[in-house]
Each structure stands twice: as structure tokens, then as C-alpha cells.
Amino acid sequence: MSAKTRKPGGAVAGTQGGRALAKARPKPATRSGAKAKPGPQPAAARRTTVRQAPAAGGPRKTTRRLDVRIGINPISWSNDDLPSLGGETPLATALSEGRAIGYEGFELGNKFPREPRALAKVLARHGLACVSGWYSGRLARCAVAEEIAAVGPHLDLLAKNGASVMVYGEVADTIQGSDRPLHQRPRFFRDDQWRAYGERLNEFGRFLLACGVRLAYHHHMGAYVETPDDVDRLMAVTGDEVGLLFDSGHMTFAGGDAVAMLRKHVARVCHVHCKDVRPAVIRLARNRDWSFLTAVVNGAFTVPGDGAVDFRSIVDILAAQRYRGWLVVEAEQDPVVAPAYEYARKGYGTLRALVDAANRRVRA
């Protein structure tokens, strides 16, 4: 069966129901561990060059109970970890289509300029805000001073373009970008390992806050912090200087109840990735011991409104907490199977309707 005749969630590795199965073709990319290059300045000097994030790119002041903006990650159009998925799509296509749908901002990907003024020009051309950007951290293995030395250019890029949070993904020992099965992910086995990791995160988080950006920790399949228990431990060993990026899709894939976990930790949530899941594909991924990328290629994730996650409850919990920030549609799929514009529009429509309904209930 050709790629264009597959349906989302229908192609799986091997054979299933007479259909040819897809296999992931992992390639090195930022999310799977390509380390940010250290800037030319020492860490101490760079503290004065990274500016407080301006209000334009962050949450707007309003009297509404749920004060959010809806953004998107370019992974719907092209996948940094799997360039075979939409790698040929120009950045301008993603930006123009996203803005036409109604999205107010984009998270960054590998196709965006890495110089602050150049990035600002690209985003301004489309009337879009810089939401945030993934940072490949290694605090599970390295010292805080090393991380501070490495983060400078990325931090400067975000702060000077109005982002108030940095997406921190732990890539030390990760298998998320490899062909290894998910059960081989790294783990902390001792309390002292968790405590030491938390202390390093707290220190790094304080450094970011001093520069006007908050650390948004992304729990992720294939990494040290994946499961509900991992997230509980992370929240227990860190303070408020470490915010939680809550990802509904990763939490569900990891075996958690997304609604219950959000309710438990919503006070620490500073950023939200709205990702839906296809339970049948997740079951196959677990039963067949797939890698993370194989699960992605075969349709484990989709946009809000196209899977099994209860986004109405998620939005209601955020409203009750008076969450202020971004809701980001981030659903890595094969754009041949799940056309980017069509699915991005579906995700936006789902979230827009739920947010508007929540705010109507507040005013009623």
C-alpha cells in the first residue's frame, strides 16, 4: 500500500490486517540529543546580555478566567527527529498556514533562524509570536555550570523574542531518537539520584528566571522522566523555579491518566502541549516493544479532537486554576498520512471551542 493511501493510525511495523507496516527511520536531531553550541561569552557575562522577555509574546492581561493563547509546534508540518516526515516543507508554508488557521504563535524548530533579530523578522512577517523552543538539556549527567555555558544562545534567542518559558527536554541517555525499544529508557533507581537531579534543575531554573525565562520541564517518552511516578518524583525534588510542561499525549502514552495528573500538578504547570493519542496504536507499541519513533510513524499521536484524551476536562482544570499562558498543539505525525493543514485546523478548532465555552461558563 502506498504512503498516500494509508490512514492515520493504520500503518504499523510488520503486518497488521493485511497492511504493510511502517518502520521508523531515526536520524539525529535536536530533540534526540544534538547539543546546543556554547556561546562566545562566559556564563557570568551572558547574564547581562539576556533580557527580560517582553510582554508581547507572553500571555495578555485580561479579566477572563482562562487567559490563554493558542499556538502550535511546526512538527505538524516537518519533524526534526524524522526529516523523512515533511522535511521538504518550507518553513514559510507552516507559518502562513498556521496563521491562516488562527494560531497566534509558533514554538521553534530546526528551520527557524537562530539569530534573535532574524527570527523576529520571520515571525513578524506572518504576525506570529515566539511561543518557546525545545532545549536539549543534560543535567542528568552534567554539572549546572556546563549547562549554563551551553544554554546561552538559545536563552538569548527566546528572551529577545518575548518567550517567557523554555521547553527543557532531558536528553542525557535518552532513547527517544533511536531505534531502541521504549522499555530500555534510562531511569533513576535511588533516592539520592533523584535528589541530586532535582538540585541541579533548581539551580538551573533559578538562572533562567534571573534572565526572565522559566524552565518548563517536558516529561517525555524514552527519557528519565516519563511515567506518572516519574513526574511525581520530579515535582517532589524540585521547587517552583522548575515549572512543569504538561503534555497530555506523552502522559497518556506513559500509562497515566492525563486529567488526574494535570489536576494533581496543575499549580506547577507553566506550559501545556495539547497532544491527543490513538489508544490502539499505543497498545501495539507496548505489545510489540516498539521504539518511540516507530510509534510516531505509525500514528500514536494526533491533534486534539481526533483521539481519546478528554480535553474538555483539561481545559476546565486549567480554567479553575486561572492558568495564564500558551496551549500548544504539538502532534508529530506523517503529513502524507495526516495532512498538516487539515489536522492543524482540527486541533485549533477543538481548543478554540473548549476555551471559549469555558470562558462563557465563567461569565454566566
pLDDT for 82: 83
Write the pLDDT tens digit of every residue in 252-288. Answer: 999 999 999 999 999 999 999 999 999 999 999 999 9
Position 234 pLDDT exceeds 70: yes
Residue scoring higher pLDDT (228 or 84)? 228
Report whether 220 contacts 226 (CB < 8 A): yes
Secondary element (H or E) of residue 231:
helix 228-237
Confidence of residue 87 (pLDDT cuts 50, 70, 90): confident
Side-chain half-sphere exposure of 55, counting CA atoms within 13 A: 4
pLDDT for 33: 57
184 CB neighbour count, 10 Å cutoff: 12
Whole-angstrom Cα distance, residue 333 to residue 337? 8
Q: Greatest CA separation found in the chain?
A: 61
Position 53 pLDDT exceeds 90: no
Question: How far apart, in Å, are the Cα atoms of 362 and each of 34, 60, 325, 327?
Answer: 44, 18, 18, 19
Whole-angstrom Cα distance, residue 130 to residue 101? 17
pTM score, whole prediction: 0.85
Position 12 pLDDT exceeds 80: no
**Backbone region of residue 325 per phi and psi (left: phi > 0; alpha: psi in -120 to 50; beta: other values):** left
Q: Looking at mean pLDDT, say which of 62-71, 82-91, 274-283 comes out highest.
A: 274-283
Report whether 231 contacts 261 (CB < 8 A): yes
Stretch among 5-9, 60-64, 238-242 having the lowest mean pLDDT: 5-9
Secondary-structure percent of the chain, ordered helix, strand, coil, rounded to 5: 40, 15, 45
**What's the length of the chain?**
364
Stretch among 52-61, 75-84, 323-332, 338-347 having the lowest mean pLDDT: 52-61
Write the pLDDT tens digit of every residue in 292-335. Answer: 999 999 999 999 999 999 999 999 999 999 999 999 999 999 99
pLDDT for 4: 35
Report whether 309 contacts 252 (CB < 8 A): yes
3-state DSSP assignment of residue 145: helix
3-state DSSP assignment of residue 85: coil
Supply the mean pLDDT for the chain: 86
pLDDT for 266: 98
pLDDT for 314: 98
3-state DSSP assignment of residue 97: helix
pLDDT for 358: 94
Write the pLDDT tens digit of every residue in 166-207. Answer: 999 999 999 999 999 999 999 999 999 999 999 999 999 999
Confidence of residue 83 (pLDDT cuts 50, 70, 90): confident
3: which 3 cell numbers?
A: 504512503
Write the pLDDT tens digit of every residue in 338-354. Answer: 999 999 999 999 999 99
Q: In DSSP terms, which residues pair with 269 in a beta bridge? A: 244
User: Which residue is listed with cell 525534588?
Assistant: 237
Position 37 pLDDT exceeds 90: no
Whole-angstrom Cα distance, residue 133 to residue 278? 26
pLDDT for 361: 85
DSSP 8-state assignment for residue 56: G
